[in-house]
Amino acid sequence: MLRKDVLTPLGIIIGIAVIFLAIYIAGGYDAFLTFISLSSFVIVFGGLIASLFVGFGVSEVKNMFNVLHTSFRRKEVPIQQFIHTLVRLARTSKMDGMIGGLEKEREKTSDPFIQKGLRLVIDGYEEDMIRKVMEMDILAMRKRHARGRKIITKAGELSPAWGMIGTIVGLVLMLQQLNNPDELGPAIAVALITTFYGVLLANLVFIPIANKLELLTEEEVFLKEVIIEALVSIRNEEGPAILKDKLQMYLIESAEGTALLDKLEGDRTYEQKEV
């Protein structure tokens, strides 16, 4: 929830630093140059892009960079602000009447999910209907995210394969032109660099990022489920106290529960002054 996604770039930097450090320990400064190879780069990146073009559509390929970017951005899910809003909604609903008060709030809210939910509450839909409509929204988001994540997962499978293709190309070329056994070592070294690129890219970038994207989706789903519970509570005119209890039941199961609830207490005090 309160995760700073500075971890993603930090992790990649640490990963590269670790490689550099190990190379330095084992081979000194001069060894770095060994690991730079244009043809390896061309095969792994070019081949990966080629396979992704064959396997996905224009929109997925374009979207891939947005998806990668998502996992890099410092993401502060505004849980406090959301709970703030939800508790204020419950109070407004009690004080100003359901329809007038919520309509005013709906115009102020910037979150489209809460807006949609409030419209359903204002329109007087049943609890079951509100749940069903909002959960279809969550399902749609889940499917959309899964689709965006799939290209990253596939990239994680394809980049070691292209690394291997590049190494085979390198070995074939090297073995074919082998005149002098002394050149064998360096030539194999060059061939192996492509595998190194492919495996590193998969295990430091694609596989972990696909995992982080899944976690981010789960968190967004969790947040939206909390919002649904809050909206249903408002719809049933249960009042801010019971709403807080319900949120508590939901938050208690997540690791960040206690911290969040402490903050909620603080917000409520602040809120009461504000009103």
Burial-class residue 201 by CB neighbours within 10 Å (0-12, 13-18, 19+). buried
Instruction: List the one residue from 87, 155, 205, 264 that touches a copy of itself (CB under 8 A).
Output: 205
Closest CB to a copy of itself among residues 190, 261: 190
Distance in angstroms (rounded) separating the CA atoms of residues 219 and 201: 26
Considering the rule CB under 8 A, would residue 261 count as an interface residue with a copy of itself? no
Min dist. Cβ of residue 95 to a copy of itself (A): 29
Distance in angstroms (rounded) separating the CA atoms of residues 254 and 261: 11
Closest CB to a copy of itself among residues 91, 154: 154
Instruction: List the one residue from 80, 111, 119, 169 that touches a copy of itself (CB under 8 A).
Output: 169
DSSP assignment string, 119-130: HHHHTT--HHHH
Q: Which of residues 175-204 bind a copy of itself (CB under 8 A)?
A: 175-178, 185-186, 188-190, 192-193, 195-196, 199-200, 202-204
Contact 124, 112 (CB under 8 A): no
* Total site size for a copy of itself, rule CB under 8 A: 93
Closest CB to a copy of itself among residues 199, 261: 199
Q: Which of residues 126-165 bind a copy of itself (CB under 8 A)?
A: 140-141, 143-144, 154, 157-158, 161-162, 164-165
Handedness of CA 212, 215, 220, 223 (dihedral sign): negative
SS3 letters across 216-246: HHHHHHHHHHHHHHHHHHHHCCCHHHHHHHH
Considering the rule CB under 8 A, would residue 12 count as an interface residue with a copy of itself? yes
Listed ranges 89-97, 101-109, 173-181, 240-248: which one lies at the site for a copy of itself (CB under 8 A): 173-181
